[in-house]
Chains A and B, each alone.
Chain A
């Protein structure tokens, strides 16, 4: 069965600090997809990244970076030089491969990130 664990319920850091959000997943499939979404205070869900299970390359996008490690079933998200606008709830999500995988994305419980000026 699928499961996504985000053990950090809330994180608060001072602006310009680096912060890492942890995500640990469980799946029996060899083909699966991992995602990160951002939910700012306005409430919409913003897609950040998708990663295929066959692609373990880490990814960097500006101040954001993602570390995917199959050996530890983790897909961690780091924000470098955090800014107040990064304050949001961040969700990690997992979907197993298969015909209906696009519709069965399972979410973690989210990490509320607060960046203090």
Chain B
């Protein structure tokens, strides 16, 4: 089966610019997660969707980050405006059950 797809794989922007990341989960997976992974640290949850509803966005910096999951399938994560500290890998994951989450390859964002 196809895995979780993410694009782009790499992005370099200047601070104060905006950027968007796209995720296509595994077909049939109702739960979708966005994680942020700063270099040298483990991934940290930004937002979790169940179908197209938000389950947990308590750690999402809502003044600059937004996410949506239209029709309960694909999802987009946006940062506007970006800061230097947003440089990280943004990982998308999906799951069918609570036993296992499937991660995409991530998008590496560099903010200069």
Q: Note whether A and B form a binding pair.
A: no
Chain B interface (Cβ < 8 Å from any Cβ of A): none
